[in-house]
Structure 1
Amino acid sequence: MRKVLEIISAYGHENIKATHKTTFEITKEKDLTPRGDCIIGVRADKSIRDINDDLKRILRREERVEVVLNLPDYGLEERLFGFGSKRMSFEDESDVVVRKSDFVCGRTLLIKSNKAARDLNREFVELLRDRKTLIEMLVVVEK
């Protein structure tokens, strides 16, 4: 049985490129410069610090977690998985980062992910270049 533990909502931006080879990020920041090649959503309603305590406990147990990136207005989604780490601190107040590597900092949600920004479907990314596009990040665990 699957259980959605967290939903983080954000919006697109005309400068979204999603070309980073090892990470992707959703941020509470309202603007994005062209240099932010890992960012896939701005104006997020939550940062890593805001995620619920149940999810933090699961991630600190280093369990596999699935993420569904959903564009509800278009019926498109991307699925990926990664892992937590006992080293996670969940302290950043503006960002949520998913990484292919095992690097952990205060912004990290998942490590050892099977996808980064450049691995996302290009049709999906093109839709994220519109400020009105809503993106939802659903964090799912198997129970």
Structure 2
Amino acid sequence: MEYTFYAKGHKNVTSAHRSTFEVTMDREIGIRADCIVGVASKIKLEDFPHELREAIKKETNLIRVQLETENAKDEIKGYGHPELTLDHPTDMVCRKSEFKCSRTLMIKSDKAAVDLKRELVDDLKEGKDLKVTILVE
């Protein structure tokens, strides 16, 4: 199963957070928002198709999140869980930990913001378009 949506980079993207990365519907972020890699998302977690939401809630399913800009692409792998509500109105967070809340898209992620390819982060700092693809196996 595959689902794609779009967001944008922002001049305040630092991609310095060591345990999460986030895409948000918010249009503006401060410099302290070191986990946010994409802003102005066109969708929220609740907008995901029902089939995708159900697949994310199965903890045995591998989830791959691909982040792509004009000059770079990176892939992050993690897992879903039955306790994920997927209903936060603006934010979607991928976590290295197993913490679950309404903002959590996946847990046990193999990368956080700090681990993303620098070419990708450089594009995001310039405010370039961000293509986000979620694949659930």
TM-score of the superposition, structure 2-length normalised? 0.95
The amino acid that maps onto 2:134 is: V
Number of aligned residues:
136
Dislocated runs of 4+, deviation >3 Å: none
Alignment identity in percent?
34
- In the other structure, the counterpart of 2:17 is 20
Q: CA deviation at 1:135?
A: 0.6
The answer to whether structure 1 residue 95 and structure 2 residue 108 are counterparts is no
Gaps of 5+ in 1: none
Gaps of 5+ in 2: none
2:126 counterpart (113, 117, 130): 130
What SS class does the counterpart of residue 35 from structure 1 fall into?
Answer: coil
Asked if structure 2 preserves the Cα contact closer than 8 Å seen for 1:92 and 1:107, the reply is: yes
The amino acid that maps onto 1:141 is: V
Q: CA deviation at 1:95?
A: 0.8
2:45 counterpart (43, 48, 52): 48
2:55 counterpart (58, 62, 71): 58
Q: CA deviation at 1:48?
A: 1.4
The answer to whether structure 1 residue 8 and structure 2 residue 8 are counterparts is no
Task: Give per-residue Cα distances to partners, 1:16-41, cap 9 Å, x unaligned.
Answer: 00000000000000101001000001
Give the Cα separation in 2 of the matches to 1:141 and 1:30: 27
Q: CA deviation at 1:64?
A: 1.0
Asked if structure 2 preserves the Cα contact closer than 8 Å seen for 1:48 and 1:108, the reply is: no
